[in-house]
Every structure is written in C-alpha cells, then in structure tokens.
A and B are shown apart, each in its own frame.
Chain A
Amino acid sequence: MPRQVRRRSLALLSGAGLLLTIAGCGSAPAASGPHNVTIVFASQGLGTEAQATQAAVNSFEKLHPHIHVQIETLSASSNDAYQTLITDLTSGSGTPDVITADVIWPATFAAAKWILPLNQFHPDTSRFYQGMVKSGEYQGKLYAMPWFINVEGLYYRTDLVKTPPATFAQLTSDAKSAMKNNSKLTGLAFEGNKYEGAVTVFQDISGGFGGEFLNAQGKPVLNSPQNIKALTWLNNAIKTGISPAAVTGWEEGNVQQAFLSGDAVFATNWPYLYPLAEASGSAVKGKVAFVPTPVDGGQATASLGGDDLVINKNTKYPKQSWELVQYLTSAKTMTARALISGDPPARTDAYTPALLQKAPWFKQEEAVYADATPRPVTPLYPQISAQIQEALSATYSGQLTPTKALDQAQKAVEAIVSGHGS
C-alpha cells in the first residue's frame, strides 16, 4: 500500500473512531455491536499461568475483533488479590469486568451484590465437576463459572510406602517405619501456618474422621467428637515427631520443598506439585502417587480449591464479558491451558487423550476429584475460616488443647452465624 493511501486510510479510521466515541457517549453500548469495546479481565497467576491466560485472550480477540481484553494481573497472594478486588468492587467501579475468583469468594461477592447472576446467559454446566459448580451457587442462582479445579490430596512416596494407607493409624505407622529406616525423613509434611491452607488440610483430615464444619442445616459443628479426633491426630503428628515442629509455619511452598527434595514420606498438597515431582531432575521422579486422604469413620475428603470466573455487576459490557467467560471455560481452551500451565480443567470433556498422554498424572488426579469437597459455601466463610485458623494455630503452639480450641471456635462461629459477632 502506498504511503499516501495508508495515511489517508489511517486518518479515516481515526475519524471513524472519534465519531464512534462520540456516539458511544450518548447511548448505552449495544451488545456485539460494530464498535470496539475494551473489557478488563482481572486474573491471578504468574509464569506459565500468565502465558496460558495471554494465549487464551489472544485467540479470543481473534474470534471477536471488536472486543479488546486488557489483563489486569492481581497479586499472587490470594489475600492481597482479595483485598484489591474488595476495594474495586466496593467503590462500584465498572472494571474489572471479568474476575478470576478463588472458589471461596463467589458466595461473599454474590451476597454483597457485586457480581452478576449468570442464569440470564443460560450457561451449560453439565460437563463441569458438580462440586465445583456448587461452590459458585448462592441462594439458588449461579454466580460463577468453574475455570480450573484444584483438590488437596495426599502425596506419598511409592518407594517407601507400598500401598496407600487406608486409615489414619496406618498412615502413622507407615510414616514411622519409613522414618526408622532413615532418620532424616519427615513422616508427614503439611501446611500448619495460620492461614487458609491450614484449614483445607484440617478439612481433609476432619472429613476422613466423619467431621464437618457446618452441618446440612448450616449450623456450626466445629467441636464435634470427629473434629476433635482429627485435630488431635494432626497435633499428635507434631508432638510425636512425625511432622517437624516447623510445619506450624509451613505453607504450600515449604511442603513442596520438603517433598520434592525427597525428605518427606507423605505430604498434603495440590495437583500443581505433580508435574514438578515428575519433571526431569526431580529427586522423586517416578516415585510419587497422589490419593485422597485416609478414612476413619468418615469418607475420603479432598478440599476443593481452584478458580472460578465471575462478572462484575457494574460492568458496562455484560454480553461481551459473558462471551469471554464462555470462551475461557470451553473445553478447548481448558485443554490448552492445562497443556501450558498444568492447571487441571474444571470440566470432564477437557481431559482429551492428547492431554492425558502428555500429562499422565491427570489420570490419578481425576480419581481425587471424585472426593472433592467444597468448604462451606456462605458469605460468612472468611470469618469462619479465621476462627478455625486461630483454633488450629493455638493448638499447634500448645496454647490450647484440641477440645478447648475447637470449643472456642465453635462459640465464636455460632456468634458469627447468628449475626452477633464478627
């Protein structure tokens, strides 16, 4: 194209753009109209996760040339990202339009009327993991689309433990006998710091003993005998040296370090660890299995994590936002994401033979998804969790017995649920 013509067409284009902008000021933007819109997509994730997001957004933009997606990267720390979002949403801002939400957030966001109910778009959730779909429901409406699933399970070393332990007593004795042969080993590496991760571990163990946080009627049952048994078991692991006292400050990263260096027999962690353990050069390559936690009167429980996609209620472009959500949660996009970043797809039809061939561990992970258990889906969950965190931390540090700590948490959570405490 000769330069003159190109310049003229540029001028024409910018003129048209100006006109469109002026027109846009007067009327509400039409759905997938001819003019360009920019939607802001707030997302967490660095490294390969960020790459996967960028790739998905690029191909979305190719399909929808009139929608430009601006990615706003939130803090990698879940707590900080949550606070940034609360500030944005409280202010009534129309952006970010589409938001990546930890599975425990949608209930709070929905209760605060910050996000759109998605039923108006007639979403098809039949192919998604149903436990995860439930985490996005609030008062009978769907507010969140599952993006990728995460479950916390038990990693163990197949060279040190022949069969996965069926009971907690078995786990203890397996750990002990492995430690007898090699005194440098850690029996069980788990997340014991005062933070959300300690609650998911506790839920895994509690479920195995038959405990729960809230019963079917939504009433707190934190100091049930089952929960006391579960906390006593975890606390004894520290006391008897199966877990080092340092676990009281450990988060996922520390557990990962202990397990990948070959120092731990058992470890509680999320699926992201599997590809790292199987990577070339890993000290535990080929010696790893991933299972749900054992059972002792309850049922196998794997705390559900993962990320949902939600839409800001004040967005100017609900239709375009939904189109992005729909694209990101399609089976094809999820498979592509799993291949780039290892994030497990939240829908069953995304586990294609090609994906399973490249990442065989997804087969083992899928078995654990069957036991995926969401944390209580209530807008009060952040406060309930804070009380449980305090109880766990007070127990691990020897300030309270498991019974006393859970009694206190029960009282505090009863007050929170009845609206007389916070």
Chain B
Amino acid sequence: MAAKPQIGPSLGTASPRPRRRRSYMASRSRVGYLLVLPAVAALAAIAIYPLIYNIVLSSRFDVLTEPGTGHFTGLANYRQMLTDPNFWGDLGRTGIFMVISVTLEFAAGLILALIVHREFKARGLVRASILIPWAIPTAVSALLWKMFFDIRSGFVDFALKALHLPGANLVWFNSPVLAWVPIILSDMWKNTPFIALLLLAGLQTIPQEIYESARIDGATGWQAFWSITLPLLRPAVMVALIFRTLSAMLVFDTIFVMTGGGPGQSTEVVAYYDWYKYMVSLNFGFGAAVAVAITVLALILATVYVRLLRQRGGFMT
C-alpha cells in the first residue's frame, strides 16, 4: 500500500489533500462513527433521553390523579419546591448524613485497607470476606440492622444489658436523634468494605522501594504513613470519596426500610422527599423537578471532586 499508515480518522484537517486520499479518510471516519454509534445510542437511550425527558417533565403540571389536566407551567414546580420548608429540612438532613457517614466510612475503610494490606495467613480469605456486607442488598442489610436494634429480640439491647452499659431499654427508632445511629451503622456496615477495596487497590500501587528507602533514612512507621502512604493514596481516596459522597446524597432504601422517615419527619432525606412527590402525591412534574435539583447538586459535587483530583493528583491520574 502506498499511503502512509495513519492511526485513527483525522477530523477537521484544514490543509487540502488529494482527492482520492480524502475519500479514503472520509470512508474510514465513517466506519469510525459507525463503530461508536451503538455505544452512543445506548448512552442516549438509557441516560440522555431520560434526563431530557425528566427536565421537560419538571416544567409541566402533571398529576396522575388529575388526568387530562397536564400543561406547561414553566418554573412553577421549582418555585414551589424552593419555598417548601420540608425540602430544605430534608436537604439539610441529607447533608449532615453525608458528612457523618462518609467521614466514618472513610476512616473505617482506611483502617480496614491498611490491615488487609499487610502480609498474614489467610489474607485472601479475609479480603474476600470483608466484601460480604457490600454484596448484600441494601434493603436486606437495613432490615438486618433494624432487627439488631429491636428492643425485644435485637442483640444490641441484649449486649448493652449484659455489659451494664447505658442505652439498654432504649427504643432507638422513637428518638429523632438516636434513630440516626442504626441508620448510619447500617450504612457503614454496608459501604465500608467498598471504600476499603478502593483504598487497598491504591495501596498496592505504591512501590515498596519508597518505604525501604524511607526506612534507611530512619523514618518511623508513623512518619512513613503520613509522608508516603497518605499523599500517594490521594487519587484512590478521591475516587472512593466521590463514589461514597454521591451515593450518600441519594440515600433512600436504608431509611425507607428502617424508619420510613420517622419518627415524625426526623430522618427524612431529599431522596425520600422525591419518592414522596412521585409515589404518594403522584405529582410527576414536581417529582421531576426534585430529581433535576438532585442531579444538579450531584453534578456540582462531582465537579468539585474532579477538580481537586486533577489539581493535586498523583501518578494514578
């Protein structure tokens, strides 16, 4: 073949090229487009179309119990949402839950990752078994923890009584503050392994030689952790935090199963608010507006994280 080998279709080249060659390139790029088409189509069908549909829906009055009355309302749904104190209350609770649960899960996940990173007998077995909670469906683990905290049959009450600790005979789910304890524990139990797994992968990419030379230079284990492990782990940390923060923002099943938002409204979160508008009020326009608001918040959070990751990223980026 006389033509120079070229990798990939070159698009938008300004300089004029021989006619035959251009048609060859054009046909090559056509093939390229055809090859990515299925992926783009799938993405459009499962992500882009619903997103746009939802945005359109959010600008409409669309209440299922009033069929035939659907019409365009502009920003009315958003206005109603932003003036609803329940929305802000639920958003605030979501934020507090996000900060507390992600912090605790990260700390626990880091400790867990450091432990299983060490050499010991049956390490593979331990590594596999810490993943078990993560593999259990959220609704099931939430139900499990709900039963643990049951005052009649739960082991928490039993254990506290046996150890003569305060907290026995407490009805955890009847207190606006204490109800969060089982919720956060259940969330931690389920998600800590996930963070540990990501951090473990990060730990394994840190070359052992760096630790060796640090030891030769006389660094203590603690110093090595602060000056080597943590900085080099940053990319993995960021990935773990993005995933966990975003899914903590969307927490629903744990709370739905454990408290139903109660007692009163004290464990209602923003995803619960959205579920209520969709499935109880059957107000699909309003529900869509809340969903759009959640999407925007998630995008903002993700952008902030990605920026942080890019700016200070290590070799993993």
A195 within 8 A of B: yes
State in angstroms the CA–CA spacing of A382 and B278 once bound together.
12
Contact call A386/B67, Cβ cutoff below 8 A:
no
A390 touches B276 (CB 8 A): no
Kindly state whether residue A45 has any CB partner on chain B within 8 Å.
Answer: no
- The 8 Å CB contact of A83, one of B65, B171, B279, is B279
A248 touches B67 (CB 8 A): no
Q: How far is the CB of A39 from chain B (nearest CB, A)?
A: 24
Shortest Cβ distance from residue A62 to the other chain B in the assembled complex, whole angstroms: 38
Q: Flag whether B66 is at the interface (Cβ < 8 A).
A: yes
Q: A393 at interface (Cβ–Cβ under 8 A)?
A: yes
Is B64 interfacial (CB 8 A cutoff)? yes
CA distance A174 to B195 in the complex (A): 56
B255-294: CB near A (< 8 Å → 1, else 0) gives 0000111111110000000001101111100100000000
In the bound complex, what is the Cα–Cα distance between A248 and B171 (angstroms)?
Answer: 8
Known: A380-B65, A422-B277. A397 touches B263 (CB 8 A): yes
Given contacts A113-B67, A194-B259, A245-B174, whether A108 and B282 have CB atoms under 8 Å apart is yes
| A396 contacts B by Cβ under 8 Å | yes
Does B173 count as interface, using CB distance less than 8 angstroms? yes
A244, A379, A383, A399: the one within 8 Å of B263 (CB)? A399
Q: B172's closest neighbor in chain A, by CB? A: A249
A12-46 Cβ-contact flags toward B at 8 Å (1 or 0): 00000000000000000000000000000000000
Chain B contributes a number of interface residues (CB within 8 A of A) equal to 30
B123 at the interface (CB under 8 A from A): no
Could you tell me the distance between the alpha carbons of A82 and B276 in the complex, rounded to whole angstroms?
Answer: 13
Interface size on A, residues (CB 8 A): 31
A112 to B176, CA, bound (A): 36
Q: Verify B65–A379 contact, CB threshold 8 A.
A: yes
Does residue A269 face the partner (Cβ distance < 8 Å to B)?
no
The answer to whether A112 and B265 have CB atoms under 8 Å apart is: no
Interchain CA distance A134-B49 in the complex, whole Å: 43
In the assembled complex, B215 has its CB within 8 A of some CB on chain A? no
A83 to B, closest residue via Cβ = B279
A400 CB–B CB distance under 8 Å: yes
A86 contacts the other chain (CB 8 A): yes
| A203 CB-CB contact with B under 8 Å | no
A412–B64 alpha-carbon span in the complex (Å): 20
* In the complex, B151 has a CB within 8 A of chain A: yes
A279 within 8 A of B: no
With both chains docked as a complex, state the minimum distance between the C-beta of B164 and any C-beta of chain A, in angstroms. 21
B173 touches A249 (CB 8 A): yes
Q: Which one of B63, B263, B286 contacts A248 once the chains associate, using CB atoms below 8 Å?
A: B263
A194 to B272, CA, bound (A): 14
Chain A residues within 8 Å of B283, by CB: 422
- B227 near A: Cβ within 8 Å? no
- Is the beta-carbon distance between B280 and A397 smaller than 8 angstroms? no
Complex CA distance for A108 and B163, rounded to whole angstroms: 52
B283: nearest residue on chain A (CB-CB)? Answer: A422
Contact residue among A380, A382, A390 (Cβ-Cβ distance under 8 Å from B262): A390
Chain B's closest residue to A420 (CB) is B80
Complex alpha-carbon distance, A90 and B57, angstroms: 14
Please report the C-alpha to C-alpha distance between residue A374 and residue B65 in the assembled complex, in whole angstroms: 20
CB distance from B48 to the nearest CB of A (A): 21
Asked if A246 CB lies within 8 Å of chain B CBs, one says: yes
Q: How far is the CA of A312 from the CA of B174 in the complex (A)?
A: 40
A83, A195, A400, A422: which contacts B260 (Cβ < 8 A)?
A195
Contact present for B262 and A194 (CB under 8 Å): yes
Contact partners of B175 in chain A: CB under 8 A? 397
CB distance from A93 to the nearest CB of B (A): 15
Whether, in the assembled complex, A394 has its beta carbon less than 8 Å from a beta carbon of chain B, the answer is yes
Taking the closest CB of chain B, its distance from the CB of A218, in whole angstroms, is: 15
- A111 on the B face (CB < 8 A): yes
B160 CB → nearest A CB, Å: 15
- Complex contact B264–A394 (CB within 8 A): yes
Residue A193 is within 8 A (CB to CB) of chain B in the complex: yes
B289 CB to nearest chain A CB (Å): 12
Partner of A245, one of B68, B171, B264: B171
Contacts of A399 in B (CB 8 A): 176, 263-264, 266
A83-B279, A112-B282, A248-B171 are known contacts. Are A194 and B260 too (CB-CB below 8 A)? Answer: yes
Known contacts A111-B66, A194-B259, A86 near B174 by CB under 8 Å: no
Query: Once the chains are docked, how many angstroms separate the CA of A36 from the CA of B130?
Result: 54
Contact partner, A386, options B173, B280, B282, Cβ 8 Å: B280
Quick check: B261 and A194 within 8 Å, CB to CB? yes
Q: Are A246 and B265 in contact (CB under 8 A)?
A: no
A393-B171 contact in complex given A86-B282, A422-B277, C-beta closer than 8 Å = no
* Distance to closest chain B CB from A244 (angstroms): 8
In whole angstroms, how far apart are the Cα atoms of A382 and B282 in the complex? 10
| Contact flag A249-B171 (CB < 8 Å), given A86-B282, A396-B263 | yes
Annotate A369-403 by CB proximity to B: 1 below 8 A, 0 otherwise.
Answer: 00000000001101100100110011011011000
Q: Given A194-B261, A397-B263, are A422 and B281 also a contact pair (CB < 8 Å)? A: yes
Cβ-neighbour of B65 out of A111, A246, A248, A396 (below 8 A): A111
Chain B CB within 10 Å — which of A82, A83, A108, A249 has the most? A249
Q: In the complex, are the beta carbons of A390 and B264 less than 8 A apart? A: yes
Interface string of A262-303 (1 = CB under 8 A from B): 000000000000000000000000000000000000000000
For residue A262, give the distance in angstroms from its CB to the closest CB of chain B: 15
Q: Which residues of chain B have C-beta atoms less than 8 A from A86's C-beta?
A: 64, 279, 282
Find chain A residues with CB under 8 A from B266 CB.
397, 399
Residues of chain A contacted by B150 (CB below 8 angstroms) = 246, 249
Interface contact A422-B263, CB-CB below 8 Å: no
Minimal beta-carbon separation of B80 from chain A (angstroms): 8
Jot down 5 A-B pairs with beta carbons below 8 A, ordered by A: A82-B279, A112-B282, A194-B260, A383-B280, A397-B266
Extra A-B contacts (16), CB below 8 Å, given A112-B67, A399-B266: A86-B282, A108-B65, A112-B65, A113-B68, A193-B260, A246-B171, A379-B65, A383-B281, A389-B262, A390-B264, A396-B174, A397-B174, A397-B175, A397-B263, A399-B263, A422-B283
Binding site for B on A (CB under 8 A): 82-83, 86, 90, 108, 111-113, 193-195, 244-246, 248-249, 254, 379-380, 382-383, 386, 389-390, 393-394, 396-397, 399-400, 422
4 A-B pairs with least C-beta separation: A394-B264, A397-B263, A194-B262, A422-B281
